[in-house]
C-alpha cells in the first residue's frame, strides 16, 4: 500500500491503537497529523518525524466543533488538502445499566460517537472539493454483539456503524469512501484495565487464541485508506481473531 503524497489525520493518536495507525500510515508514505487532548502526544509526532516521515501535532478535543474546525483549517492551510481521516479517539466508562450515571453515558457518547460526526462534517467540505477522501472509523465488535457493563460504549460503537453507512451513501458520488474497523480485544491501556482472569477467558473464546495488537488494527486501517480499497465503502471489518465469526 502506497500512501505517498496523502495527508492523514488520526484522532486520539498519542498512544495505543491510534499511535499504531499513525505509524503505519506514515510508513506507507502519508504525511501524518497526530491529534490528542494531551500535550504528551506531541512526543508521538516527534517519534514519527525522527523516523523520517513528516508529522504534525495538533492538540484538540474532538468533542468540540470549534476546536475540530480550527484543527482542520490548520491542516488544510499547512498541507493544502486532507485525504484521510481516521476517527479513532475513544474512552470507556464501564458500569452496569442500573448504576450508570448520566455523566458516564454522556462522556462516552460525546467522545466516541459525537466526535465522529463532528470530525466527519468538518473534513467533508474539503474532501468533496477534492472529489477524493478516505474516512475510516474505529468502532468495536461490542457495537455489533453488545457487552454487559458497556451500554454507553456499545451504543456509541453501534452508532458509528450507522454513521459509516449513512455518510458512505451520501458521499459515494464524490469518490469519498467511508468504512469502519471493529477491533476485538486488543492489547492497549484500555484493555490493561481488565483482570488477567478476564483476559484469559476472552483468549479462550478467540478462535486464533490470542489478543490482537494495535498493529493488527493499523494494518486493516491502512488497507481501507489505500487506493487498493477504492471499491469498498459503507462496510465494517472485524479485526478480532475470529471472535464474532458467524455472528
Scanning residues 138 to 177, which ones bind ligand NAP (CB under 6 A)?
A: 138, 140
Spatial contact of 44 and 14, defined as CB atoms under 8 Å apart: yes
16-27 vs 214-225: helix axis angle to the nearest 10?
50
# binding residues, ligand NAP (CB under 6 A)? 28
Q: Is 186 in the site for ligand NAP (CB under 6 A)?
A: yes
- Grid coordinates standing for 71? 484543527
Taking CA atoms, 218 is separated from 83, 150, 206, 239, in Å, by 17, 24, 19, 10
Task: State the DSSP H helix or E strand holding residue 207, giving kind and residue range, or none if neither.
Answer: none
Dihedral sign (CA 100, 97, 159, 216) = positive
Interaction mask 27-56, ligand NAP, x per CB under 6 A = --------xxxx------------------
Catalytic residue of the set 79, 126, 132, 153: 153
* CB of 132 vs ligand NAP, minimal distance in Å: 25
The angle at the Cα of 68, spanning 138 to 187, to the nearest 5 degrees, equals 30
Q: Is 15 in the site for ligand NAP (CB under 6 A)?
A: yes
Q: Is 90 in the site for ligand NAP (CB under 6 A)?
A: yes
Pick from 22, 63, 86, 108: which binds ligand NAP (CB under 6 A)?
Answer: 63
Please confirm, yes or no, whether 236 is among the known catalytic residues.
Answer: no
- Select the span of 12-20, 23-31, 170-178, 226-234 touching ligand NAP (CB under 6 A): 12-20
- In sequence order, what are the beta bridge partners of 36? 59
* CB of 186 vs ligand NAP, minimal distance in Å: 4
- Grid coordinates standing for 187? 492489547
Q: Is 18 in the site for ligand NAP (CB under 6 A)?
A: yes
- Select the span of 1-9, 25-33, 144-152, 183-191 touching ligand NAP (CB under 6 A): 183-191
Q: In 35-150, which residue ranges form alpha helices assigned H by DSSP?
A: 42-50, 65-79, 102-109, 115-130, 142-145
Pick from 9, 12, 56, 238: which binds ligand NAP (CB under 6 A)?
Answer: 12
Positions marked active-site? 153
Amino acid at each position: 500500500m502506497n500512501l505517498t503524497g496523502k495527508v492523514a489525520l488520526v484522532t486520539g493518536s498519542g498512544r495505543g491503537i491510534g499511535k499504531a495507525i499513525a505509524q503505519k500510515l506514515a510508513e506507507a508514505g502519508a504525511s501524518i497529523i497526530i491529534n490528542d487532548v494531551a500535550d504528551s502526544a506531541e512526543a508521538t509526532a516527534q517519534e514519527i518525524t525522527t523516523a523520517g516521515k513528516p508529522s504534525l501535532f495538533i492538540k484538540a478535543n474532538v468533542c468540540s466543533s470549534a476546536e475540530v474546525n480550527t484543527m482542520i483549517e490548520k491542516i488544510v492551510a499547512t498541507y493544502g488538502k486532507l485525504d484521510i481521516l481516521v476517527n479513532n479517539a475513544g474512552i470507556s466508562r464501564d458500569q452496569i445499566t442500573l448504576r450508570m450515571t448520566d455523566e458516564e453515558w454522556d462522556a462516552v457518547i460525546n467522545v466516541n460517537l459525537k466526535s465522529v460526526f463532528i470530525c466527519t462534517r468538518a473534513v467533508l467540505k474539503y474532501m468533496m472539493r477534492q472529489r477524493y477522501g478516505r474516512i475510516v472509523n474505529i468502532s468495536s465488535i461490542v457495537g455489533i454483539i453488545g457487552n454487559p457493563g458497556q451500554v454507553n460504549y456499545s451504543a456509541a460503537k453501534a452508532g458509528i456503524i450507522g454513521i459509516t453507512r449513512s455518510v458512505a451513501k451520501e458521499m459515494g458520488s464524490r469518490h469519498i469512501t467511508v468504512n469502519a474497523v471493529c477491533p476485538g480485544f486488543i492489547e492497549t491501556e484500555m484493555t490493561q484495565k481488565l483482570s488477567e482472569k478476564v483476559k484469559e477467558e476472552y483468549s479462550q473464546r478467540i478462535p486464533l487464541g490470542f489478543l490482537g495488537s494495535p498493529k493488527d488494527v493499523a494494518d486493516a486501517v491502512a488497507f481501507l485508506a489505500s487506493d487498493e480499497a477504492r471499491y469498498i465503502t459503507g462496510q465494517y471489518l472485524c479485526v478480532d481473531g475470529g471472535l464474532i465469526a458467524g455472528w
